[in-house]
Structure 1
Amino acid sequence: MLSARLFLVRHGQSTYNAQARLQGQADPPLSDAGRAEAQRLKPALPPFDEGRVVTSDLKRARETAELLGYPGARLDARFREINAGAWAGRSLSDFPSGSETAWRGGALKAPDGESWEELQARVGGALDELIAAGGTWLVVCHGGVVRAALSHVTGADPQRVAGPANASLTVFKAQSPPQVEAYGWVPALSVG
């Protein structure tokens, strides 16, 4: 019998991802490519009881959960992306490289945005609740949330961790302390 695990899936590509725009808690839908990415990931996941599937309440995560076969997933706003405040929707090219922005784990944030520490506390608390509840869970969320979860579990510096790809899978063994089994895994494209 396998021990309990947390499966974190980053949503498929959104229209903002395709346009290289900062999302934060803006609510764009999946792009056509993002829907295809979610469909490609679906067969790689084990089956879950729908009561053990949680998703961010943002559209791109909800759509991904639906495409994975879980239209009734429980919504949990704690698994939302970092709040980028007034910066949401801006082109990523508007920000200087190396500016250590909050969504990359740095200190720079919009005046009305959320700090990395706030994001990590929010995500860490939600993860700890799932682990305490026991069993295996599927969480459909966002790149910043996956990085915050990894940092919460391992203590890794988020600025030294690459963001996970769209429609990627991160797996933690749900024990005390949790243990990383996979980070940002993406199924191979079929050739032919």
Structure 2
Amino acid sequence: MTIHDSHLPRDPGVWPRRVFVARHGRSVWNKSKRVSGQANPPLADEGHAQATRMAEALADESLHAVYSSDLDRAIQTAAPTAERFALRVQPSAALREQHFGIAEGQQRDDPESEIGRLWQARLLDREHFRMPGGGESYVEMETRVLEWLRPTLAAHRGENVLVIGHRNSTRVLLGALLGLARTDVMALPVHARWLYVIAPGDEPVGVWSCSLRERDAGRRVAGLRT
């Protein structure tokens, strides 16, 4: 059973026309390879540039709503597009990244450190492992994202919406909209260099990837590029 079949309506008439989905732009902690989770680092200069390119890539679309996580890096990513369309960013804690407990703000690459050992343990059971210090499992994060997604989609039937998440919450969004199994969703590389364009009411579901890279910003290709 896929996330899509379990949680979302199958009648194409209740879907938005297009859902634009992206991970937030590159943050200052992404640059230094620190675990972000639900901590609140801002965008780096590169992330602001990616946000600007997203607004430019969507300039010829119609857009009816802009949603994001309530963390600064997601709101900052959504803001240029919202401003271009005279919309407000609608932030939601449901779209936050998975909570990584005591790992947040720390480097994870040293396998001899406490955080490094915990991170390796997490990789052995990514669905259910919780970091000490209030950490959240992937399944718990998935549940809150899906609980947000269904009524939000229903509120925008026939419209176009933009949703800005984080690496893992964006995985859940893509999996739900494309009808992917959790194991496939968790394996998706999700980078800030792509904006995904999804036509959820089409049969089969339509998906395109729009580049946010400086060298070819705005170029669209069919399929889910990572």
TM range (shorter): 0.7 to 0.9
Say whether 1:108 aligns with 2:129. yes
3-state DSSP of counterpart to 1:137 = strand
What is the letter of the counterpart of residue 188 of structure 2?
V
Q: Are the structure 2 counterparts of residues 180 and 127 from structure 1 closer, same or farther at C-alpha, using a change threshold of 3 Å?
A: farther
In the TM superposition, what is the alpha-carbon distance from 1:171 to its structure 2 partner? 2.8
TM-score using structure 1 length: 0.82
Q: Pick from 79, 91, 100 the counterpart of residue 107 of structure 2.
A: 91
**Amino-acid identity (%):** 29
Residue aligning to 1:142: 166
When the two structures are aligned, how many residues end up with a matched partner? 184
Residue aligning to 1:165: 191
In the TM superposition, what is the alpha-carbon distance from 1:136 to its structure 2 partner? 2.1
Contact 1:99-1:108 at 8 Å conserved across structures: no
Contact 1:146-1:170 at 8 Å conserved across structures: no
Say whether 1:151 aligns with 2:164. no
Q: Pick from 71, 77, 95 the counterpart of residue 58 of structure 1.
A: 71
What is the letter of the counterpart of residue 63 of structure 2?
F
> Matched residues in 1 for 2:180 and 2:117: separation?
28
User: Which deviations, in whole Å up to 9, do the C-alpha atoms of 1:68-91 show, x marking residues without a partner?
Assistant: 244721111111111112211111
In the TM superposition, what is the alpha-carbon distance from 1:113 to its structure 2 partner? 0.7
In the TM superposition, what is the alpha-carbon distance from 1:96 to its structure 2 partner? 5.6
> Matched residues in 2 for 1:15 and 1:188: separation?
18
Residue aligning to 1:74: 90
Q: Give 5+ residue unaligned stretches, structure 1.
A: none
Contact 2:108-2:119 at 8 Å conserved across structures: no
How is 1:10-89 mapped onto 2 (pairs within 5 angstroms)? 10-45=23-58, 46-49=61-64, 52-70=65-83, 72-89=88-105
User: Which deviations, in whole Å up to 9, do the C-alpha atoms of 1:85-110 show, x marking residues without a partner?
Assistant: 221111131436983637x9443331
What is the letter of the counterpart of residue 190 of structure 1?
R
Q: Give 5+ residue unaligned stretches, structure 2.
A: 1-15, 111-115, 217-226
In the TM superposition, what is the alpha-carbon distance from 1:53 to its structure 2 partner? 1.1
What is the letter of the counterpart of residue 152 of structure 2?
L
> Matched residues in 1 for 2:122 and 2:172: separation?
14
In the TM superposition, what is the alpha-carbon distance from 1:137 to its structure 2 partner? 1.2
Larger-Rg structure: 2
User: Which deviations, in whole Å up to 9, do the C-alpha atoms of 1:29-73 show, x marking residues without a partner?
Assistant: 000111111112221122423xx1111110001111113244721
Contact 2:164-2:170 at 8 Å conserved across structures: no
What is the letter of the counterpart of residue 161 of structure 1?
L
> Matched residues in 2 for 1:66 and 1:37: separation?
12
RMSD across aligned positions (CA): 2.8
